[in-house]
Amino acid sequence: MTVGVDQSRRNFFRGKRPSEKSALRLPWLKSQQSLYDNCTQCTECISACETQIIKKGDGGFPQIDFSLGECTFCQKCVAACHEDVFSDDLSQAPWHIETTVKSSCLAQNQIMCQSCQDSCDTQAISFQYLKSSVPQMRINQDDCTGCGACVSVCPQAAIEIKLLDTSTITIGD
């Protein structure tokens, strides 16, 4: 016997639609849209996360908060989920992101700081030595995994990790 999905029940658990397209939700999502369409907001992924960086975010959907720590790519959130939310191919990149630094970065304001560099296991962060300036931070996007380890160590909270291409996401029914 095939058991159908009770859409009204699913909608009840789903809560209100999110308003923020670029929020970083979870690694290895089939798509951001699949989360909005199929997540029941059961919070199993939140409980499973070994670094406790997943919280209930905008619209009640799970959301990564790198101010709490980094993603170790343990995949426990994927294993905990019973809905059609995550990709079947976990060998692919966990997300398509861009890591940027805001103008509040201490180095950009001529104050010596290299806190982020030490936190980056893949050495995606480097510092360029210039005449008449303290060394300036550079991020090599090709080497950046989006682990978020650099975010919480920045004394200025100047590092941001954002989803690339949110153009196909539909929110707000």
Spatial contact of 148 and 119, defined as CB atoms under 8 Å apart: no
Q: Under the criterion CB under 6 A, does residue 148 sit at the interface with ligand SF4?
A: yes
One residue of 107, 137, 150, 154 binding ligand SF4 per CB under 6 A: 150
As separate numbers, helices (DSSP H) first and strands (DSSP E) second, the chain gives 6, 6
- From the list 14-22, 81-89, 101-109, 164-172, the region that binds ligand SF4 by CB under 6 A is 81-89
- From the list 1-9, 101-109, 115-123, 126-134, the region that binds ligand SF4 by CB under 6 A is 115-123
As given in the structure block, the two tokens for residue 165 are: 């291409």
One residue of 37, 58, 65, 83 binding ligand SF4 per CB under 6 A: 83
Q: Under the criterion CB under 6 A, does residue 34 sit at the interface with ligand SF4?
A: no
The residue written with tokens 């919480």 in the block is: 152
Q: Under the criterion CB under 6 A, does residue 154 sit at the interface with ligand SF4?
A: no
Q: Under the criterion CB under 6 A, does residue 149 sit at the interface with ligand SF4?
A: yes
Q: Under the criterion CB under 6 A, does residue 137 sit at the interface with ligand SF4?
A: no
CA distance linking residue 110 with residue 24, whole number of Å: 30
One residue of 49, 137, 158, 163 binding ligand SF4 per CB under 6 A: 49
Q: Under the criterion CB under 6 A, does residue 166 sit at the interface with ligand SF4?
A: no
Q: Which residues pair with 139 in a beta bridge?
A: 125
Amino acid residing at 74? C
Q: What are the distances in angstroms from CA 84 to CA 30, 34, 128?
A: 8, 7, 44
The residue written with tokens 């997943």 in the block is: 54
φ, ψ (nearest 5 deg) of residue 165? 55, 90
**Contacts with ligand SF4, residue ranges (CB under 6 A):** 27, 39-45, 48-51, 53-54, 62, 71-77, 80-81, 83, 85, 99, 119-120, 122, 124-125, 139, 144-150, 161
